[in-house]
Structure 1
Amino acid sequence: MAIKLFLLLILLSHVASSLAEGCHPQDKKALLQIKKELNNPTLLSSWKPHTDCCNSSWYGVNCLPSKRVYFLVIEIDNDLRSSFPPSIGNLPYLDSLLLYQLPNLTGAIPQSITKLTKLRSLTIRATGISGPIPNFIAKLKSLTYLDLSENHLSGTLPHNLYKLPNLEAIILQNNILTGPIPPSYGYIKNISSLFLSHNKLSGKLPMSLARLNSLVVDLSYNRFEGDASMFFGFAKQTETIDLSWNMLLFDMGRVELPKTLKLLDVSHNRVYGKLPDGAKNLQWLNVSYNRLCGEIPKGGNIQTFSTNLFSHNKCLCGSPLPSC
């Protein structure tokens, strides 16, 4: 009888231990494989096979009440050296993925991430990844936030991001991307932030971008040409427009600034005409190195701005510049 009781206690202890194990076995296996694919970096030394990955002891891992991994962050490690771990695609409940400041994380974005059907936020920033931005990103139908900035990504912009129904932010700045903005970007319904600055993008801006009503548009430090007036309009909700350091050519006097606009930078372009009256309501303005002419509007804060923000134009005049 005593032996049976002893065996029963052992069995119950095993059951209790298995119930206490918070991490889903499939997710734990995937995380340990990710660690292996990253060459077992010191940063992930807390990922130990005989511990629970959902008890907050595993670096960068957070779990749902169902004990499925939904958040993974690996960041700030100059010693981590590997290619992008394909086993990240084996975390089916992952909601947010953040890989940040890993300069020796190299290679291309693997297609295995398309298995992350619940992923809403994808950040791969300040890493050594290279190659094109793959079109299969558009298979992440739940995605709302896409940040692939400060990498070594090249090639053209993916044309099919409009297929992501919930996408709100596109952040692709500081790469080596080339070519034009696809006309399909004007049909990204819910986009609130578009950051494409510091690339080698070029060509004329498609008129379909007039459909956008984003809070922020930043196309600075590229090689865009021609008209950019489609970003303006009194009824739009845009707060920041940065078109500086391009080759844009349009009549500034014919645009209506959005009533919500706070910051406008069109410096280092070929913009001509006069400043619209709405410019006096801005919190910050830079129109230097253009071909503008006429009197600077009076009122608001504009007379307090530095003269450098109006310099090198054809014939701008009036406070804070010399009178006309």
Structure 2
Amino acid sequence: MNSSKVISLEHLSLPNNRLEGALDGISKLTNLVTLDLGGNELSGNIPESIGDVKRLEELHLEHNNMSGELPAALSNCTNLVTIDLQANQFSVELTKVNFVSLSNLKKLDLLSNNFTGTVPESIYSCSKLTALRLSYNPFHGQLSEEIGNLKSLSFLSLANNSLTNITRTIRILSSSRSLTTLYLGFNFLHETMPEDVNIDGFKNLQVLYINHCSLSGKIPDWLSKLPNLGMLFLQGNKLTGPIPEWISSLKFLFSLDISNNSLTGEIPSALMEMPMLESDSTAPKVFFELPVWNKNQFLQYLTPSAFPKELNLAMNNFTGMIPEEIGQLQGLFSLNLSSNRLSGEIPEQICNLTNLQMLDLSGNHLTGKIPAALNNLHFLSRFNISNNDLEGTIPNAGQFSTFPDSSFGGNPKLCGSMVANHCGSAKASSVSIDPIKQIGSEAIIFMTAFCVFFVVGVLYDQKVLARHFG
């Protein structure tokens, strides 16, 4: 390719090709509008010569091995709309880049790098920003009120940034009218979940992560004021108290994870009345401004409604029985009630959840038999009832033939081909026998047998004697 054609090149897109080396010679591509070299094995830093590519609108260098400080010359690329540098090793503070000059910037993704210091105030001058992801960088400090200038911001991810003062953060962000997705997890360690927050916004918020913060307190009432909330993740905190009754008022909620807390009480009937979990209908369509990952399935999603319907109450202190009304939640794909203190039998109604792909009831005090109708859950691929007090025969047809032995362990009264107890053996018998009564019955049997043999022996002897001496 001659030099004139190289200079006139506008779009260079070579993602996921295992390209190596440094980003050299970029200054010659003065007409470049799109540069996409994501998913390669590039190393080195972004050269100062990037500033010569003044027409550049799309810069994608994500998932490489690039490092160093972002150059000040990046501020000269005033037409930039998207900057995606996630999953590299860029470091140092962001102070060299003057984001004030990047007035056209709509998407900034710096996920999983090593940027330090505080989030630069100049970022909040990019008034057209719709997506900002700074997660998994060792930033620190408190969120600036200047973020309120980002009136169009729809997607904000600040997870694992060592932020402090969650009450202030929620208060600042709650005035947002545009936010649909908010990630705040792995921050505010050992603070208290704010309860008395005057929510004046969040009207369009659909996805909220405040997970793994070790927050104390209760599930806050201000969550009930989020009319469009579809996904709520509060796992990995130290929340106490019961699940609030207002949970059923969140008519669009289809994914709830409150696992690994210290919540108590029985599973409330309100949880069995969540409209989105009772039907197969999908949540209102809204697209993530940036792709997000489902950690369980290693898939990228661009819309919340593509996520499976989930209810995760694991690792708490819930007591009582599993409500029979659980059978109403026919939209569920995943149900996890493991590691609680639930008792009673597995309700037959759970067999109505024909869309279930994952069911985990392990680590409770459940008794009785495994409902045979669970065989009708044809999509069930993960199943665990280990460490309970269940009894009887394990079904061996349908999906049950595909589950590992560990799914049933810790239930000494269960029997079947996949556990040590084989049905019909003395060990598998679920009837308990009083050892004193057992000894007594054995003595009776022995005496009866002895008498029979004695009588028969006497009669035989008499017959022999009569034949010889009669």
TM-score (norm 1): 0.78
Secondary structure of 2:224's match? helix
Q: Does 1:185 pair with 2:247? A: yes
Fraction of identical pairs, as percent = 28
Is the counterpart of residue 276 in structure 1 residue 347 in structure 2?
no
RMSD, aligned CA? 2.9
Q: Which has the higher strand share?
A: 1
Q: Cα gap change, 1:227/1:22 in structure 2, threshold over 3 Å: closer, same or farther?
A: farther
Residues 285-324 of structure 1: CA deviation (Å, up to 9, x unaligned): 1111112122222311312322222122252222323332
2:124–2:147 CA contact under 8 A, matched in 1: no
Partner of 1:29: none
2:451 match: none
Q: Does 1:48 align with 2:147?
A: no
Distance 1:57 1:291 in 2: 53
CA distance, structure 1, for counterparts of residue 413 and residue 372 of structure 2:
17
Change (3 A) 1:63 1:45: closer
Matched, 1:105 2:163: yes
How many residues end up aligned between the 2 structures? 284
In the alignment, what sits opposite 1:310? Answer: 408
What letter corresponds to residue 51 of structure 1 in structure 2? S
Q: 1:266 aligns with which of 346, 349, 361?
A: 361
Moved more, 298-307 or 195-204: 298-307
- Long gaps (5+) in structure 2: 1-76, 81-90, 111-122, 278-308, 424-470
Of 239-248 and 161-170, deviating more is 161-170
The 1:314/1:162 distance shift into structure 2, 3 A limit, reads farther
2:335 corresponds to which of 241, 245, 261:
241
Q: Distance in 2 between matches of 1:197 and 1:238?
A: 17
> Are the aligned partners of 1:56 and 1:62 in contact in 2 as well (CA < 8 Å)?
no
Mapped to 2, the partners of 1:57 and 1:169 lie a distance apart of: 23
Structure 2 distance, partners of 1:45, 1:220, is 43
More RCO (CA 8 Å, sep 6+): 1
Per the TM alignment, residue 225 of structure 1 is displaced from its structure 2 partner at its CA by 1.1
Q: Partner letter of residue 370 of structure 2?
A: L
The one of 192, 213, 222 aligned to 1:131: 192
Aligned-pair CA distance for 1:245: 0.7
CA distance in 2, matches of 1:192, 1:183: 16
Is 1:143 equivalent to 2:201 in the alignment? no
**Cα distance change on mapping 1:172 and 1:300 into 2, 3 Å:** same
Gaps of 5+ in 1: 1-19, 24-40
The equivalent of 1:297 in structure 2 is: 395
| Pairwise CA distance, 1:50 | 5.3
- Is 2:174 the counterpart of 1:174? no
Q: Does the aligned pair in 2 maintain the 1:81–1:105 contact within 8 Å?
A: yes
The question of whether the paired residues in 1 share the 8 Å contact of 2:389 and 2:412 is answered with yes
Give, in angstroms, the shift of residue 71 of structure 1.
1.5
Q: Which runs of 4+ in 1 moved over 3 A?
A: 20-23, 55-64, 133-139
Q: Does 1:82 align with 2:141?
A: yes
1:46-75, Cα deviation, whole Å (9 max, x unpaired): 5416522434796657999xx622222212
Residue in structure 1 matching 2:155, options 88, 96, 105: 96
